[in-house]
Amino acid sequence: MSVLIRDGGFVAEDWAYGFTDDRDAAGGETGPGLDLASDAEMSDLQALLPRLRMIRVVFDGFSDGRVFTVARQLRLMGYAGRLRLAGPLLADQYAMARRVGFDEVEVSDAHAERQGEASWRFRAAWQAHDYQARLRG
């Protein structure tokens, strides 16, 4: 199982359509969300973006910064749907994930036990604690 995290803390899963890495099968009103690896080819996604309601970017290690680039690229390409990060993200990285465009984070139950809800909620004020906000002070 896994735990879903948003700015308010741990939340129940509310995506009922599953996920697939088959780009042709993903999307639509009740179709599955698209699973993307952190090293996925992005050039052919532009045409698919309007029909995708959910994209989950999956990665293996918290040191794989490519997931942040993928999220930023998707948002710059005009993707406006839900964007989920799935993998062993550290609570300290939550603010960066939100800033680049992720809406939510999915971690394993074991990972959520090691980094409890309080750790994630502490970082939920990500908009107020960035460098530029401190400069504008």
Question: What is the structure's pLDDT at 132?
Answer: 61
Q: Is residue 29 part of a domain?
A: no
24 closest CA partner among 13, 32, 15, 16? 32
Instruction: Tell me the mean pLDDT in the region 46-66.
Output: 90
In sequence order, which residues have a C-beta less than 8 Å from that of residue 116 and are 6 or more positions away? none
Q: Is residue 133 part of a domain?
A: no
Report the number of distinct structural domains present in the chain: 1
Q: Is residue 111 part of a domain?
A: yes
Domain that holds residue 103: 1-6+57-125
Q: Is residue 40 part of a domain?
A: no
Instruction: Tell me the mean pLDDT in the region 92-112.
Output: 93
For residues 126 and 124, the model is more confident at 124
Q: Convert the pLDDT of each residue in 2-53 to its tens digit.
A: 999 999 999 999 999 999 999 999 999 999 999 999 888 888 899 999 999 9
Q: Is residue 121 part of a domain?
A: yes
Euclidean distance between CA atoms 101 and 91, whole angstroms: 16
88 closest CA partner among 64, 124, 56? 64
pTM metric for this prediction: 0.88
Instruction: Tell me the mean pLDDT in the region 51-68.
Output: 89
Residue 72: exposed, middle, or buried by beta-carbon count in 10 A (0-12, 13-18, 19+)?
A: middle
Q: Is residue 47 part of a domain?
A: no
Q: Is residue 35 part of a domain?
A: no
Q: Is residue 45 part of a domain?
A: no
Question: What is the structure's pLDDT at 65?
Answer: 80
Q: Convert the pLDDT of each residue in 71-100 to its tens digit.
A: 999 999 999 999 999 999 999 899 899 999
What is the largest distance, in Å, between two alpha-carbon atoms of the chain? 47
